[in-house]
C-alpha cells in the first residue's frame, strides 16, 4: 500500500506554490557569484530589515535557548495600540499566511465555498483545497477585484471571501470605501478576509475595527514581511472581533511565532523613519520602473504596492533568460497569466539593472524574431 492511499484528498488538489528561488540556489545553478544576484521575485524590502529590528535581534541572540512568550503579549499589546483596539482583537501568526490556514481550520470543510478573485493571492486557493472546500472564482476587473461580481458569487454555502487590497500579483488596490460597503452588504454567514499585506503602501486603509464595531464580519491580515523587511522571520497577524480571534487562537500552535520574530516585529513597529524612507523610495522606484518599461514598449501595471506587473509576451522565457543573467523575477503562469511577469520594485540602481537587462534581452529576442528563429 502506498502512503498516498492513506492520505487526505485535499493533499492532491494542492496547486503548486512556486516561491522565488533563493539567491544561493540560483548562483549555484548558473555559476554566478551570489553577491551579484538581484532578487526581485518575492516583494521583499530592497532596503533590508528595519535597523531597529536588527538591533533587537542582536540583543535577543543570547536568549535563544528560551521558548518565546506563547501568547505574544508584548507584540499583541503594541499592535492593539496600532489599531486602537484591545489585545484580544489580535491573533499572531507565523506570517500572515498562517492566519489564512487557521481560518481554514476553523471554517472550511467539504461542501463549503470560498469566494476569491481568479488572480488572487494563490495561498487562498491552496488553503481552500487543503480543507476540501470549493473555490468560487470571480474574474478580476482592471487588475483589481470585481466587488460586484464577488458579491454576486456569494451563496448559502459561502463561508469565506478573500480580498487582497492591493492584490498580489496584479497590483492595484480597491477603493477603501467600496470595500467597506462590500463588507456591510455581505450576509451574516460570510466572513470577509481582508488581506492587507501591502496596507502601509496605501494612503488610506479600510477601517477594519470600525466595521467590526458596526457588526460586519471582517478580519484584517497584516504582515511584517513587506515594508518592515522581516520576511525571513515569518511574523504576521490577524485582527478582528474578539470572538472570531478566540476561535483562531484555539487552532494555532502554542509557540507559532518565534522569539526572534516577536522582538524584531516589536522594534520594527517603532521604526517610523525607516518605514517612511522605504515608502518614499518605493513610490519613486515605481515611477522609475513604469516609465522605463513603457519606454521599452511594454504594457505595465504600476499598481499600489511594491511591485509592478509587466506584459512581456512570454513570461517564462523572460524569467529564465533573466535568471541565467542573475536577475530573479516572477513568472505568472501559475496565475493563468503566462504573458506577464511580476517585478519587485528595487533600489534605484537595482531598477536600472533590471531595465537594462530587459532592454538587452528584448534586443536579442527581436533580432531572433527577425531572423525567423523565434515563433
Ligand X SMILES: *Cc1c(COP(=O)(O)O)cnc(C)c1O
Nearer to ligand X, 195 or 350 (CB): 195
CB of 252 to ligand X, least distance (A): 14
Q: How far is the CB of 119 from ligand X (least distance, A)?
A: 11
How far apart are CB 225 and ligand X at their closest, in Å? Answer: 3
- Tell the smallest beta-carbon distance from residue 266 to ligand X (Å): 16
- CB-facing half-sphere around the CA of 202: CA atoms within 13 A: 18
Q: Which of 89, 107, 121, 182 binds ligand X (CB under 6 A)?
A: 121
Phi and psi for 296 in degrees, rounded to 5?
Answer: -85, 0
Name the nearest CA neighbour of 51 among 228, 237, 222, 298.
228
CA distances from 319 to 24, 171, 289, 331 (A): 17, 19, 17, 6
292 binds ligand X (CB under 6 A): no
Which region among 31-39, 92-100, 318-326, 367-375 touches ligand X (by CB under 6 A)?
92-100
Query: Residues binding ligand X: what is the number (CB under 6 A)?
Result: 14
Q: Which three-class secondary structure string do you get for 225-267? A: CCCCCCHHHCCEEEEECHHHHHHHHHHCCCCCCCHHHHHHHHH
If one asks whether residue 256 binds ligand X (CB under 6 A), the answer comes out as no
Beta strand pairing call for 113-117 and 158-164: parallel
96 binds ligand X (CB under 6 A): yes
Buried b (16+ CB within 10 A) or exposed e, 231-242: bebbbbbbbbbb
Q: Residue 334 or 361: which CB sits closer to ligand X?
A: 334
The strand pairing partners of 158, in sequence order, are 113
Counting contacts by CB under 6 A, is residue 236 touching ligand X? yes
- 43 is an interface residue for ligand X by CB under 6 A: yes
Site for ligand X in 139-178 (CB under 6 A): 164, 168
Residue choice 45, 97, 170, 288 for contact with ligand X (CB under 6 A): 97
Stretch that binds ligand X, among 27-35, 46-54, 91-99, 270-278 (CB under 6 A): 91-99
Does 223 interact with ligand X (rule: CB under 6 A)? yes
Give the span between the Cα atoms of 349 and 338, in whole angstroms.
28
d(CA 80, CA 51): 23
Tally Cβ neighbours within 10 Å of residue 175: 14
Give 98 or 357: the residue with its C-beta nearer to ligand X.
98
Asked if 22 is part of the footprint of ligand X (rule: CB under 6 A), the reply reads: no
Interface positions with ligand X (CB under 6 A)? 43, 95-97, 121, 164, 168, 195, 197, 223, 225-226, 231, 236
Amino acid at each position: 500500500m502506498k502512503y498516498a492511499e492513506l492520505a487526505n484528498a485535499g493533499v492532491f488538489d494542492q496547486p503548486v506554490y512556486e516561491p522565488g528561488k533563493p539567491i544561493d540556489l540560483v548562483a549555484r545553478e548558473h555559476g554566478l557569484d551570489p553577491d551579484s544576484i538581484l532578487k526581485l521575485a518575492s516583494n521583499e524590502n530592497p532596503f533590508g530589515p528595519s535597523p531597529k529590528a536588527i538591533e533587537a535581534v542582536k540583543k535577543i541572540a543570547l536568549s535563544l535557548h528560551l521558548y518565546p512568550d506563547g501568547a505574544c503579549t508584548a507584540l499583541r499589546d503594541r499592535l492593539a495600540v496600532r489599531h486602537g483596539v484591545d489585545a484580544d482583537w489580535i491573533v499572531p501568526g507565523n506570517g500572515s499566511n498562517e492566519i489564512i490556514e487557521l481560518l481554514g481550520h476553523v471554517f472550511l470543510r467539504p461542501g463549503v465555498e470560498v469566494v476569491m478573485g481568479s488572480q488572487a493571492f494563490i495561498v487562498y486557493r491552496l488553503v481552500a483545497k487543503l480543507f476540501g472546500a470549493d473555490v468560487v472564482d470571480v474574474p478580476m476587473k482592471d487588475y483589481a477585484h470585481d466587488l460586484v461580481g464577488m458579491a454576486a458569487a456569494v451563496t448559502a454555502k459561502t463561508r469565506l471571501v478573500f480580498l487582497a487590497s492591493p492584490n498580489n500579483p496584479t497590483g492595484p488596490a480597491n477603493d477603501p470605501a467600496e470595500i467597506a460597503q462590500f463588507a456591510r452588504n455581505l450576509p451574516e454567514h460570510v466572513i470577509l478576509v481582508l488581506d492587507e499585506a501591502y496596507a502601509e503602501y496605501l494612503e488610506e486603509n479600510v477601517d477594519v475595527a470600525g466595521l467590526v464595531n458596526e457588526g460586519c464580519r471582517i478580519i484584517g491580515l497584516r504582515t511584517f514581511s513587506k515594508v518592515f523587511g522581516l520576511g525571513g522571520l515569518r511574523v504576521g497577524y490577524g485582527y478582528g472581533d474578539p470572538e472570531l480571534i478566540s476561535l483562531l487562537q484555539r487552532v494555532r500552535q502554542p509557540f507559532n511565532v518565534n522569539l526572534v520574530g516577536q522582538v524584531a516585529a516589536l522594534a520594527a513597529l517603532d521604526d517610523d523613519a525607516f518605514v517612511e524612507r522605504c515608502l518614499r523610495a518605493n513610490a519613486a522606484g515605481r515611477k522609475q520602473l513604469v516609465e522605463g518599461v513603457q519606454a521599452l514598449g511594454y504594457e505595465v501595471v504600476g499598481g499600489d504596492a511594491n511591485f509592478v506587473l509587466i506584459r512581456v509576451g512570454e513570461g517564462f522565457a523572460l524569467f529564465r533568460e533573466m535568471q541565467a543573467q542573475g536577475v530573479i523575477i516572477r513568472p505568472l503562469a501559475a496565475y493563468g497569466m503566462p504573458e506577464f511577469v511580476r517585478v519587485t520594485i528595487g533600489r534605484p540602481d537595482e531598477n536600472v539593472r533590471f531595465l537594462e537587462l530587459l532592454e538587452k534581452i528584448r534586443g536579442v529576442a527581436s533580432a531572433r524574431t527577425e531572423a525567423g528563429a523565434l515563433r
